Chain A
Amino acid sequence: MKGVRKAWQFPWGFRESLFIAVALYVTGSFIQIFSKSFAPLPQFPNNLIILISYIVFIVVVRLLFVKNPIVQWLSTVPAAVGSVTVFGVLSLMMGLIPQSPVALPEDLFHNITNSWAYFLALLYILTVLGFTVMKRILPFTLKNIWFQFNHLGLWIVIAGAAFGAGDIRRLKMETRLNEPVWIAIDDFGNQIEPGLAVELQNFSIEFYSPAITLYDFKTEKPVKKAKPYLADSVGQKIKIGDWNVTVDSLFKSAMWVGGTFRRFNGPGAVPAAYIRVSGSSGEISGWINPGNKLNPSQAIMIDNNTGLILQFPRPEKYVSEIKIYSKSDSIYNATIEVNSPFYAEGWRIYQLSFNEELGEWSDISIIELNRDPWLPVVYIGLFMMIIGAIYLFYAGMKKKGEMK
């Protein structure tokens, strides 16, 4: 831009692109304030109809008006940079301002993903990316194919995620032992019948060993310098800070009865360890355990502020065995755990949580029923981007860098 060209004189450049970006943001904000509403979130079949019309629009406009300077500009780098920038600025606002899905439309800053500004920014980036994809579809050369893995791939991801958002269903269901449940709850607390019933058949948790930790009771935090140790066997000798600790007795699950801990497998039990602590000032010994209603917590104090405590063990994994009944009379038996959902009748079923107070004796298991019919579309785009990224890495290595 040498200053010869006036603003809005063709060909457009960065100035116009950024101006459009700002104009879209302002327009979006005005629509939102005056209409007191969020951007639309169309559902099936409307979203599909709108998406197809939008694709037809891009293809037809590109083919009919290929010489039009605005159409040409839409597939240039300045247009791309402008649209990426406005999207980036909105992301930056989301990264700096805590977001809340319940913020009202009058509040422009706390619910950005639902805002009109975000909606228009998405439309800007999709339009620019769409025209860019069209421009490079022909000729069908190897270079253009790589180009499409990155650009068309990204277009498919954004389009699939944005247009499909209205069809996503995420429901919570509290399943109970040997009792089929038909009702689930959505994010707003509405009761919904997903068309599946789920019965909890068994729930189990595996724990890591409890950790012996040096704890500062004044700051109510573990002492950072001392490394916590997992207590996993009797006779274990460990060094915590300047103290030598010997584990004389260890129960993963015990109850405080008659002045001592006894092994007990049942609700209300806690882990407990009898330890001997020796240091320069002598030896102390006693029980340590994390507390609950039945067993108050105990620590071994080393000085006025710090003491050794036993922490509740962290769960290693929790597993629900469930039975799923569908409306079509099919029955599925499944085992679900975190990171390992089960798929049936269009729903993905996830392990969410359990009754933490009862721990492994929990008689409920909270699961999520999750439906996203557009997921395959998004995945196609993501896999195209993986291939595109591998090419990009290869291209980067091949490029000859030089210092001038």
Chain B
Amino acid sequence: MWEHYSIFSLLLLLVFGIAMIIVWWYNKSRLIRILTEGLVIFGLALMMIFITLMWISLERPPLRTLGETRLWYALFLPLIGYVVLKRWKYNWFMCYCLVMGIVFLLINLLKPDIHDKTLMPALQSVWFVPHVIVYIAGYSFLGASALIAAMGLYYRYFIRKNETFVSIADNLVYGGFAFLTLGLVFGGLWAKQAWGHYWTWDPKETWALITWLAYMVFIHLRHSRIKSGTTILWILFLSFVTLLICWFGISYLPAAQNSVHVYAG
């Protein structure tokens, strides 16, 4: 299936690319609105078909390598962008998400992964798919919230306007945090089945906990007196840095050389 990826991805890049440009006139013209939504939905459907075909041809869920997970990000990010677009009409946010989706597709096109059918026994579990998918969804939400934090900081430092983007980040953080919680819990239930304990302080677990606690602090601060301001934007942004370390940074950490969570390939 992977040998057809270039055709699929070029078509998707075209579809998402056009949508990314015309979405800027989304709130101005009805025709553009229909066209954008049509393109995004078509792109998402194409993405889903490709993932399904990959799944069938590999005879296992395409979730084992970083390249395979990038396919899911290219699906989830535009999906979240589309939901936000429908709900709050933020076309700039849709554009961000499409750009991110395009980046993930491009990385896979330019740096193809090794794909084989083998799946080690510990990964053969009913928990594999839900555990990884909720994390991908969570990371997509929180990645989107980090873009908002970056945008807010940019406005503060360079445009010197106090636009607070934090309140729309809230929705994304709530969604993302909920998925992180599910990811941690599913991971614990799976670990009990596979390794005999629900929590073993594997470096990936430790970093997933750090990430979870960072967003927990953000949510609690938003509940109290610190409602907005530069501090909260920085906390949101730095929380995403811990997430990035957890996601792929741990491969480079001395503490993580024996982690069972390193991606294959």
Contacts and interface: CB of A to CB of B under 8 A. Distances in A.
Interface stretch (B4-12, B43-51, B167-175): B167-175
A302 B39 CA distance: 48
Given A81-B224, A230-B117, 4 more contacts: A91-B213, A375-B192, A396-B175, A404-B163
Contact of A402 (B118, B167, B181, B203): B167
B178 A393 contact: yes
Contact of A88 (B163, B177, B197, B213): B213
B64 to A, nearest CB: 12
B253 interface: yes
Contacts of B181: 385-386, 388-389, 392
Given A338-B121, A339-B125, A396 B171 contact: yes
A84 B255 contact: no
20 contacts: A81-B217, A84-B213, A84-B217, A87-B213, A88-B210, A88-B217, A95-B207, A98-B257, A161-B199, A314-B118, A316-B119, A337-B121, A339-B193, A386-B182, A396-B172, A396-B178, A397-B175, A399-B170, A399-B171, A404-B167
A5 to B, nearest CB: 13
B25 to A, nearest CB: 19
B122 A96 contact: no
Contacts of A395: 174
A56 interface: no
A208 interface: yes
Most buried by A among B115, B120, B179, B257: B120
B36 interface: no
B163 A403 contact: yes
Contacts of A113: 201
Contacts of A314: 118, 120
A12 interface: no
A362 interface: no
B116 A317 contact: no
Contact of B196 (A81, A350, A382, A393): A350
A228 B116 contact: yes
Contacts of B120: 314-315
How big is the B interface, by class?
35 or more
Interface of A: 76-78, 80-81, 84-85, 87-88, 91-92, 94-99, 113, 161, 168, 170, 208, 211, 224, 227-230, 314-318, 337-341, 348, 350, 368, 370, 372, 375, 378, 382, 385-386, 388-390, 392-393, 395-397, 399, 401-404
A66 B254 CA distance: 48
A91 B201 CA distance: 9
Interface string B202-229: 0100110110011011001101100000
B206 A91 contact: yes
Contact of A94 (B174, B182, B220, B255): B255
A338 B214 CA distance: 33
Contact of A341 (B164, B193, B220): B193
A228 B199 contact: no
A212 B206 CA distance: 36
B164 A403 contact: yes
B220 to A, nearest CB: 5
A113 B206 CA distance: 11
A376 B199 CA distance: 15
Contacts of A375: 192, 198
A370 B192 CA distance: 10
Contacts of B157: none
Contacts of B173: 396
A382 B181 CA distance: 10
A227 B191 CA distance: 31
A229 B118 CA distance: 11
B21 interface: no
B185 interface: yes
A151 B181 CA distance: 12
Given A88-B217, A95-B255, A338 B122 contact: yes
B168 A403 contact: yes
Contact of B175 (A385, A386, A393): A393
Contacts of A81: 217, 220-221, 224
A256 to B, nearest CB: 26
A348 B220 contact: no
Contacts of A78: 224
A351 to B, nearest CB: 8
Nearest to B245: A95
Contact of A401 (B88, B117, B163, B214): B88
A208 B118 contact: yes
B52 interface: no
B22 interface: no
Q: Which 4 A-B pairs have the closest CB atoms?
A: A396-B174, A401-B168, A393-B178, A77-B224
B182 A389 contact: yes
Contacts of B88: 401-402
Contacts of A368: 196
Nearest to A80: B220
B192 A98 contact: no
B114 interface: yes
A392 B254 contact: no
A88 to B, nearest CB: 4
Contacts of B220: 77, 80-81, 84
B165 to A, nearest CB: 6
Interface string B115-155: 11111111011000000000000000000000000000000
B194 interface: yes
